[in-house]
Structure 1
């Protein structure tokens, strides 16, 4: 499925397939899926996917990482992840980091962006980003940090995807060319997310849809 700019809403990170049309907008989405579940999507020719090993499940992942390497060749898989670091849940950070590194390297190899999960490990994430110095986009999903941190991350080159939990001041602090929207596991529709973000930015949903469609087109080549 080609990504085309039009009157569309893009949900860059969701765990469930959304309605095809919401409030008159066509909905495009990236469905997050785990490697072992991808075989169930073989007949799904209408979806685009992100596929990765989540830091919560980074123990004993050799078979998952090998499978991910194969899956990443599929044209429907347009991003690697969600992958990353979490100091509050999951295996020891050293193990998480090793699994994350392997996915970073796979993303570089396949020229596909990364969907990032990060909790309380910002210094480590930034250090890895600087170490790899890759042009592959890193999109931090579900971002809800403080405005100052959002500005710092965007200045470094990170992209930030926001959902219903992000504060107004943080949304305002994200440069327009670094902004994405998502639903993740929320019951709110992607239109609801766009509507809220547009209200915070004092622009129309149509204008926001144009901004994010352009970001999607530039990021997911």
Structure 2
């Protein structure tokens, strides 16, 4: 299995990060992608990169998250380019980037500025992007159509319409589904999981956030990924192993460097 979105760098894992990774291995989770939120955390994320065999492979992404707009500076965009130059063999994507219109007091103009600039960086370095989107799919899709990124990306925690989903897929994107689908109230998202092409789906936890149903109020961890896997298999009436293999291959097709394909 591949957890395509896990903030393993967050302080919530400082006390048991290695133990958590060992537990992931026991749960047959072989790969995790760790996206950044702020520039100050990039060095910590880069240290978590790991491609050693017989351990959980850790892919990393660098970017500026729209939720932390007040922490971003113009200079961080140049820093991003420099980091990608110096760590070209390490960084798999630009992310977590995007637009969040659910933030009532956030500056949308500024959000848009950082988002478009980071899309340009991804285009320059031929990297995929990991997208954060809340109530902004149409605006994000508009920009993606303009940039036409060669390597697409992943739409994290997808919650849009079927029409929007298929537009992302046409642009070369995979759609991330996590703990939301373990809740019965998520009927629309569950229906999407059941009907979209399997080739478009990837698993995620968004740990330490987005706890699964039955675990509300607790820290989410990547070890919970099998709950997402089993729910998708149930919704699609498909074998668990089939979903595990397909979603892993889907994530690797976006995030793995050439020649680096580990199940």
Tell whether the 8 Å contact from 2:46 to 2:90 is kept in structure 1 after alignment.
no
- The CA distance in 2 between the partners of 1:42 and 1:117, in whole Å, is 20
Alignment partner of 1:128 is 2:120: no
Alignment partner of 1:25 is 2:25: no
CA drift at 1:162: 0.6
- The CA distance in 1 between the partners of 2:129 and 2:98, in whole Å, is 9
Tell whether the 8 Å contact from 2:174 to 2:250 is kept in structure 1 after alignment.
no
1:153-211 Cα deviation digits (max 9, x unpaired): 32444321111114320112322121111000231611221111111111222111211
Corresponding residue for 1:200?
235
Aligned length: 213
Q: Considering only aligned residues, what root-mean-square deviation do their CA atoms show, in Å?
A: 2.2
Which runs of structure 2 are paired with 1:18-97 in the superposition (5 Å)? 18-20=20-22, 21=24, 24-33=27-36, 34-46=38-50, 47-59=58-70, 60-73=72-85, 74=87, 75-89=89-103, 91-97=106-112
Corresponding residue for 1:170?
192
- The CA distance in 2 between the partners of 1:42 and 1:215, in whole Å, is 23
Corresponding residue for 1:101?
116
Greater shift, 147-156 or 91-100, is seen at 147-156
Query: Which aligned runs of 4 or more in structure 1 are off by greater than 6 angstroms?
Result: none
Corresponding residue for 1:5?
none
Gaps of 5+ in 1: 1-8
Question: Which is helix-richer, 1 or 2?
Answer: 2
1:80-111 Cα deviation digits (max 9, x unpaired): 11101111216322211111111111111111
Gaps of 5+ in 2: 9-16, 51-57, 182-188, 211-219, 258-263
Alignment partner of 1:145 is 2:160: yes
Partner secondary structure for residue 135 of structure 1: coil
- The CA distance in 1 between the partners of 2:145 and 2:59, in whole Å, is 29
TM-score (norm. length: structure 1): 0.86
TM-score (norm. length: structure 2): 0.73
Partner secondary structure for residue 212 of structure 1: helix
Change in CA separation of 1:43 and 1:149 when aligned onto 2, cut-off 3 Å: closer
- The CA distance in 2 between the partners of 1:122 and 1:30, in whole Å, is 23
- The CA distance in 2 between the partners of 1:210 and 1:165, in whole Å, is 21
Change in CA separation of 1:41 and 1:130 when aligned onto 2, cut-off 3 Å: closer
